[in-house]
Amino acid sequence: PRPILLTRHGESRDNVGGRIGGDTVLSDAGEIYAKKLANFVEKRLESEKAASIWTSTLQRTIITASPIIGFPKIQWRALDEINAGVCDGMTYEEIKKNMPEEYEARKKDKLRYRYPRGESYLDVIQRLEPVIIELERQRAPVVVISHQAVLRALYAYFADRPLKEIPYIEYRSRTLACHRRRVIAPETGTIESPK
């Protein structure tokens, strides 16, 4: 079957600082991942002339895709990370300290909790519908380079995981999930499965 490969962007500078959201570039480790991913994708999809690379509109996914040569790249706003609204750019500790009610509300119901002036997981799941429809229609392989919350939702769709689990799926950096098959980590070359 035609693979749909799902991966997070390489580590960003905000990831290093523990800040959510934002639109920073990659850390050195993130740049290394981007190169490994490019090697992996170019080898794996060598004979797949019609394959394409889908990213969000945020720098960290576009930069992660940039070393991949030979395939068209498409940017989707619907693949952007969950919008953390007024909490964008904060660390979880800062939210806990400065906005304890928000922090507790999210902890209680992470699936439904909507950041003030931002989104909930349910909002993200809804906006992904057109992307999922397009993914299902593709005849050629697609590499999706996106973000933690978005990939949790996409992975859950393809792996038939229940809605309530989505916000807690462990979607590790540097792993690549392969739709309806095994999961491969370009970082190590080992085969793993996101929990």
Cβ proximity to ligand F6P: between 148 and 175 the closer is: 148
- Using the minimum distance from each CB to ligand F6P, give the nearer residue, 23 or 48: 23
Catalytic residue among 11, 15, 44, 152: 15
Assigned token pair, 138: 């593709």
Residues that bind ligand F6P (CB under 6 A): 15, 20-21, 81-82, 84, 147-149, 167
3-state helix, strand, coil in the chain (%, to 5): 45, 15, 45
- Using the CB atoms, write b or e for 91-130: b if 16+ within 10 Å: eeeebeeebeebbeebeeeeeebbbeebbbbbebbebbee
Q: Please say which residue, 48 or 114, places its beta carbon nearer to ligand F6P.
A: 114
Q: Extract the tokens encoding 108.
A: 């209680």
The smaller minimum CB distance to ligand F6P, of residues 71 and 121, is found at: 121
Q: In one letter, which amino acid is 69? A: I
147 vs 174, beta carbon nearer ligand F6P:
147
Catalytic annotation on 147?
yes
Q: Is 15 an active-site residue?
A: yes
Active site residue 117: no
Give the active site residue among 19, 106, 127, 147.
147
CB of 29 to ligand F6P, least distance (A): 14
Smallest separation (angstroms) from ligand F6P to the CB of 88: 8
Run of H or E including 55: strand 52-55
The verdict on whether 9 is a catalytic residue reads yes
The least distance separating ligand F6P from the CB of residue 167, rounded to whole angstroms, comes to: 6
CA distance 190 to 183: 9
Q: Which two tokens stand for residue 192?
A: 């793993």
Shortest reach from residue 152's CB to ligand F6P, in Å? 8
Give yes or no: 180 in active site.
Answer: no
Confirm if 194 and 156 have CB atoms less than 8 A apart.
no
- Give the nearest distance from C-beta 50 to ligand F6P in angstroms: 30
Amino acid at the residue 130: P
Which residue's CB comes closest to ligand F6P?
20
In a 10 Å sphere around its CB, with 0-12 CB exposed, 13-18 middle and 19+ buried, how is residue 149 labelled? buried
Indicate which residues carry an active-site annotation: 8-9, 15, 60, 81, 147
